[in-house]
């Protein structure tokens, strides 16, 4: 099958959607399909052979943070050329409502179009204003995929219609087989300590590090040898500013880590904490932590509760409540039996997020929409006369 995938965000900037597309494309290529990914990228960034650049993305403030998006004549022309040269059986657009390549492709293409909705942001004013324009473009999508039941609900409420739920994929095996690193394990300190892991942007308050920092003094008061390992970029000084100086040595910043080190970190820690305060529609990091066998403690966001099977595969605490976080963390660190139970349940639960299953489901969607439909083509907007004929009939 010839598959065209559209990535709305710059390829060289790490992000959940980009990683998802990379893994999906590589999964299909391994199965023998022909895949081409259209993504914004600077012309001099090195790209994998299956990625086609749609030109430079322009940084624009959008949806609460600065996003790098593509629009304008040049991008539209590149989209058309890509569609024309690709002759795809199906195209898969990610995040079709973001004002970038996804929407441009919706405009320019016709034929079987599959779209995945990643975010579940509340209806924004821009979306309401653009509703009429969006609707005409979104109507062309033959199949919609939402990454979680929560994302589906927002989609149904805001845009109407329906979607199938297919979660984001994770290479479970990669995380499950990673070697733990002794310096990230608690070792002899496990009696009155333990290691807590956090992965995410330090300077992005939505990722929730400030909540964890607020909870830390209480955790350290009860278990003084606890260590917090933080992986992610951002200003480390600012992150520990709220912490009393004598406790700051208990926090270790690892900076940006490679995929291998991320897996090894998750394999090593006694507890993985996800204190995110909002804006999450899925929570791939929780699945990665469970794949690596780390017991998970997460804020009770709708999306997180769903990934954790409503508390069965990992524990939840009241969002933004540092006290509740500290209590739950202490309870888990002091209860090896409960942690082992969470490890076992987590490892069984994550099988449904493995690429072998997620990829097969996405392929089922492709095959369902290509059954009884012509291949993708550029929408030439011709046949005006035929349309007038139709109007008169």
Partner 1 sequence: MTATLIWILVALVVIGLYLSWTAGRLDRLHSRIDAARAALDAQLVRRASVAQEVATSGVLDPAASIVLYEAAHAARQAEEEQREVAESELSQALRAVFAEPEQLVAVREAPGGEQAARELTEAVRRVPMARRFHNDAVRAARALRRHRKVRWFRLAGHAPFPLAVEMDDEPPAALTDRQTP
Site residues, partner 1 (CB under 8 A): 110, 112, 135-136, 139-140, 142-144, 160-164, 351-352, 354, 356-357, 360-361, 364-365, 367-369, 371-373, 381, 383-384, 387-388, 390-391, 393
Sheet with 251-255, strands from edge to edge, namely 251-255, 225-231, 193-199, 271-274, 296-299, 315-317
Nearest to 264 by CA among 178, 391, 143: 178
Q: Which is nearer to partner 1, 205 or 383 (CB)?
A: 383
Q: Which is nearer to partner 1, 230 or 369 (CB)?
A: 369
**Least Å from the CB of residue 63 to partner 1:** 24
**Least Å from the CB of residue 364 to partner 1:** 5
**Least Å from the CB of residue 393 to partner 1:** 5
Q: Which is nearer to partner 1, 337 or 384 (CB)?
A: 384
Using DSSP, state whether 161 is helix, strand or coil.
coil
Q: Which is nearer to partner 1, 167 or 275 (CB)?
A: 167
**Least Å from the CB of residue 191 to partner 1:** 38
Q: Which is nearer to partner 1, 60 or 360 (CB)?
A: 360
**Least Å from the CB of residue 206 to partner 1:** 31
Burial class for 175, CB neighbours closer than 10 Å (0-12, 13-18, 19+): buried
Q: CA–CA separation, 297 vs 110, rounded Å?
A: 45
**Least Å from the CB of residue 20 to partner 1:** 19
For residue 272, the surrounding DSSP H or E stretch is strand 271-274
Query: Judging by DSSP bridges, how do beta strands 113-117 and 90-94 pair with one another?
Result: parallel
Q: CA–CA separation, 103 vs 271, rounded Å?
A: 40
Q: Which is nearer to partner 1, 86 or 111 (CB)?
A: 111
Q: Which is nearer to partner 1, 164 or 247 (CB)?
A: 164
Using DSSP, state whether 57 is helix, strand or coil.
coil
**Least Å from the CB of residue 139 to partner 1:** 5
**Least Å from the CB of residue 104 to partner 1:** 18
Q: Which is nearer to partner 1, 184 or 353 (CB)?
A: 353
Reduced DSSP (H G I as helix, E B as strand, rest coil) percent helix, strand, coil of the chain, to 5: 45, 20, 35
**Least Å from the CB of residue 242 to partner 1:** 44
What are the residue ranges of helices labelled H in the chain?
A: 16-30, 73-86, 101-108, 125-129, 131-138, 149-159, 172-176, 209-222, 236-239, 259-268, 284-291, 302-307, 322-333, 336-349, 355-370, 384-392
Q: CA–CA separation, 128 vs 124, rounded Å?
A: 7
Q: CA–CA separation, 152 vs 163, rounded Å?
A: 6
Nearest to 10 by CA among 75, 49, 58, 62: 58
**Least Å from the CB of residue 124 to partner 1:** 21
Q: Which is nearer to partner 1, 242 or 364 (CB)?
A: 364
Packing angle between helix 16-30 and helix 355-370, nearest 10 degrees?
80
Q: Which is nearer to partner 1, 117 or 272 (CB)?
A: 117
Q: CA–CA separation, 126 vs 280, rounded Å?
A: 20
């Amino acid at each position: 099958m010839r598959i065209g995938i559209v990535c709305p965000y710059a390829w060289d900037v790490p992000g959940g959607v980009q990683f998802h597309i990379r893994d999906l494309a590589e999964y299909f290529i391994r199965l023998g399909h022909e895949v081409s990914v259209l993504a914004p990228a600077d012309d001099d960034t090195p790209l994998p052979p299956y990625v086609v650049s749609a030109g430079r993305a322009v940084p624009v403030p959008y949806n609460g943070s600065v996003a790098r998006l593509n629009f304008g004549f040049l991008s539209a022309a590149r989209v058309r050329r890509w569609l024309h040269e690709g002759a795809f059986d199906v195209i898969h657009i990610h995040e079709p409502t973001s004002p970038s390549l996804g929407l441009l492709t919706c405009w320019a293409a016709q034929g079987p179009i599959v779209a995945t909705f990643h975010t579940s942001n509340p209806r924004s004013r821009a979306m309401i204003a653009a509703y009429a324009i969006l609707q005409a473009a979104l109507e062309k999508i033959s199949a919609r995929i939402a990454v979680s039941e929560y994302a589906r609900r927002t989609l149904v409420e805001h845009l109407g219609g329906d979607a199938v739920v297919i979660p984001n994929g994770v290479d479970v095996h990669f995380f499950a087989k990673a070697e733990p690193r002794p310096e990230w394990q608690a070792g002899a300190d496990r009696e009155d300590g333990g290691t807590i892991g956090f992965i995410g942007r330090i300077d992005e308050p939505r990722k929730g590090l400030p909540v964890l920092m607020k909870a830390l003094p209480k955790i350290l008061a009860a278990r003084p040898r606890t260590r917090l390992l933080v992986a992610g970029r951002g200003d480390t000084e600012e992150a520990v500013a709220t912490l009393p100086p004598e406790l700051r040595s208990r926090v270790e910043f690892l900076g940006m880590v490679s995929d291998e080190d991320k897996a090894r970190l998750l394999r090593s820690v006694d507890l993985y904490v996800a204190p995110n305060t909002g804006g999450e529609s899925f929570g791939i990091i929780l699945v990665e932590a469970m794949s690596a066998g780390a017991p998970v403690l997460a804020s009770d966001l709708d999306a997180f509760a769903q990934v954790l099977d409503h508390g069965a595969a990992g524990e939840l605490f009241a969002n933004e409540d540092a006290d509740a976080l500290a209590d739950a963390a202490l309870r888990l660190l002091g209860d090896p039996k409960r942690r082992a139970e969470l490890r076992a349940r987590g490892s069984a639960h994550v099988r449904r997020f493995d690429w072998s299953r997620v990829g097969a489901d996405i392929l089922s969607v492709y095959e369902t929409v290509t059954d009884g439909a012509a291949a993708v083509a550029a929408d030439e907007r011709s046949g005006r006369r035929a349309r007038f004929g139709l109007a008169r009939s």
